[in-house]
Amino acid sequence: MVQSLDRSQGRAGAVATDGAAAPKTFTGNRALQIEEPLIFEMGQAGRCGVDLPEPPKVKDRLNGLRRGGEIGLPGLSEPQVVQHYTRLSQKNYAIDMGVYPLGSCTMKHNPRINEKVARLAGIGDLHPLQPVSTVQGALELIDTLAHWLKTLTGMPAVAMSPAAGAHGEMCGMMAIAAALDAKGERAQRKIVLAPESAHGTNPATAAALGFTVKPIPANDRGRVDLAALKAALGPDVAAIMLTNPNTCGLFESEIVEISTAVHEAGAYFYCDGANFNAIAGRVRPGDLGVDCMHINLHKTFSTPHGGGGPGAGPVVLSAALAPFAPYPWIVKTGDGWTVAEEGTRVAGTPFGRLKAFHGQMGMFSRALAYIMSHGADGLKQASEDAVLSANYVMAALKDVMTPAFDGPCMHEVLFDDSFLKDTGVSTLDFAKAMIDEGYHPMTMYFPLVVHGAMLIEPTESQAKEDLDQFIGALRSLTERAKTGTAAEEFKAAPRFSPRRRLDETLAARKPILRWRPSNNPPEGGPMRQAAE
Ligand SMILES: *Cc1c(COP(=O)(O)O)cnc(C)c1O
């Protein structure tokens, strides 16, 4: 049957896409941007990519629980399956396609040597339940990475198992809670201080562990207000969670005063090290008085992320917190390694176990490949280049956009929306217009301390001419916005993408979480365009 795929009918994920900008096509495709239905909407029942023999008839022992009806798997040939997933894979914008300036997320190039290493049979084919005697090399790899992380941070211990930055926060704060417990101060110290600019995971972690979060304001330089911090410190404070460089892309220049004040008050200093990529090889957090800090391997040491893949968030610990590090501990014994699991005697009192097995081996091998291929000088240069790129973008745009704070930035540059004042164009409109120019938008409306925030992190891995084109696109957009007559055009953006603006509020409030064969979303369902 010849059928035109009319995507304007209200099927979840595929609604009208045509603005004035693009003509309707028979297929719904736009040039080589191919529409893609759900796999359950494709194919025909009974079609199969492989020939399987009829299963032997056996008497089941399921006591009547055996499935009676069809299982409902999509019926597709192998080429159909391959085409489906290949087309889906092309729908993601990716760092391998172009500039991906998502501030705070550090979308940097993942060198291919990492992938080669991660796929070596002795690394890629490991099973976590293999006998320890057969995985000595893998344990050595983890231990070698641990050594580098301790060396780069100037900290004596590291817990390798946390699976992401937020998980690392959990780990570090649990170590702090355990240390307070050991001192008999857990009940008395219930408050965790977090700057207003903190990543949302910081207060969430503290709250999840039963602490009360108290926000600390920023000063007009975008740094923690030291006087306000000192006023908030007291015998009821467990810890501060501070990001450095902070989420405004600025180095906390009073960090030593902060750590001294925190320690004098008997509290611990948790550093959110997600932005370590700006200072690795230049600054050792241990020298700044940090008690524990997670490192996002997937940000600082490349390794892919952002597509929902695994991350890794090892936590470096000071001598005071090291004894509480969670199981498993990897212990050097003579000429080999063992894994100390729950119940094994170790030189400390681990707070428990945080995760099955030993951590994200695929991330460990990639991060170690990144570290060893760069070397100490290369890591330092990567940090410096990341900072240089961000300052280059700031310098090239500061006459037309408005940097949120004076002075140079670290690895990311923060603009506010004052340059859009009276243009009728919002941060959101501006970001959507970037999509038409072929750019993934920067991080928007974060951090919250700045109005209409736009946070750009170019990373060290973009070529100068690519940054120049990005800068050119933003200059052109600011010029168009400032004509004062382009608001309509901006509100209609993106005009060239297969999907335009979705009603994100409705999608969040009334999510349709399950596809059902005859149950298309009602008219005006969450995926309908707001513009309609
Ligand atoms: C990315 C980030 C986190 C969270 O890390 P995940 O790996 O996404 O859990 C925490 N804090 C800051 C400042 C970050 O940039």
The answer as to whether 209 is a domain residue is yes
Lowest-confidence pick of 226-230, 243-247, 303-307, 400-404: 303-307
The CATH number of the domain holding residue 263 is 3.40.640.10
Q: What percent of the chain has pLDDT over 70?
A: 92
Q: Over 60: is that where the pLDDT of 18 sits?
A: no
Q: What are the distances in angstroms from CA 515 to CA 67, 113, 202, 428, 520? A: 21, 40, 34, 30, 8
CA of 277 to the centre of ligand 1 (A): 12
Give one DSSP letter per residue of 128-171, joined into a string.
TTS-GGG-HHHHHHHHHHHHHHHHHHT-SEEE----SHHHHHHH
Cα separation, 276 vs 505, in Å, equals 34
For atom 8 of ligand 1, the residue with the nearest CA is 165
Say if ligand 1 is within 6 A of residue 201 CB. Answer: yes
Q: Over 80: is that where the pLDDT of 28 sits?
A: yes
Give backbone dihedrals phi and psi of 525, rounded to 5 degrees, phi first.
-60, 175
For atom 15 of ligand 1, the residue with the nearest CA is 104
Q: Over 90: is that where the pLDDT of 289 sits?
A: yes
Cβ contact 379:152 at 8 Å? yes
| pLDDT score of 499 | 86
The answer as to whether 1 is a domain residue is no
The answer as to whether 88 is a domain residue is no
Say if ligand 1 is within 6 A of residue 164 CB. Answer: yes
Structure confidence at residue 400 as a pLDDT band (50, 70, 90): very high
Maximum alpha-carbon separation in the chain? 79
Q: What are the distances in angstroms from CA 338 to CA 57, 136, 330? A: 48, 8, 6
| pLDDT score of 20 | 52
The answer as to whether 480 is a domain residue is no
pLDDT tens track for 248-276: 999 999 999 999 999 999 999 999 999 99
pLDDT tens track for 440-449: 999 999 999 9
| pLDDT score of 306 | 54
CA of 61 to the centre of ligand 1 (A): 49
| pLDDT score of 21 | 54
The answer as to whether 450 is a domain residue is no
pLDDT tens track for 292-345: 999 999 999 987 775 546 789 999 999 999 999 999 999 998 989 999 988 888
Say if ligand 1 is within 6 A of residue 205 CB. Answer: no
Cβ contact 321:315 at 8 Å? no
| pLDDT score of 522 | 43
CA of 292 to the centre of ligand 1 (A): 15
Q: Could you tell me whether strands 268-272 and 237-243 are parallel, antiparallel, or unpaired per DSSP bridges?
A: parallel
By residue range, what is the domain housing residue 319?
114-371
Say if ligand 1 is within 6 A of residue 455 CB. Answer: no
The alpha carbons of the chain give a radius of gyration, in whole angstroms, of 26
Token code pair at residue 511: 């999510």
The answer as to whether 78 is a domain residue is no
Q: Over 80: is that where the pLDDT of 2 sits?
A: no
pLDDT tens track for 348-360: 999 999 998 989 9
Cα separation, 41 vs 303, in Å, equals 34
Q: Considering its fold, how many domains does the chain have in total?
A: 1
| pLDDT score of 532 | 29
Q: What percent of the chain has pLDDT over 90?
A: 77
The answer as to whether 500 is a domain residue is no
| pLDDT score of 11 | 34
The overall pTM is greater than 0.85: yes
Residue 11's DSSP bridge partners are: 14
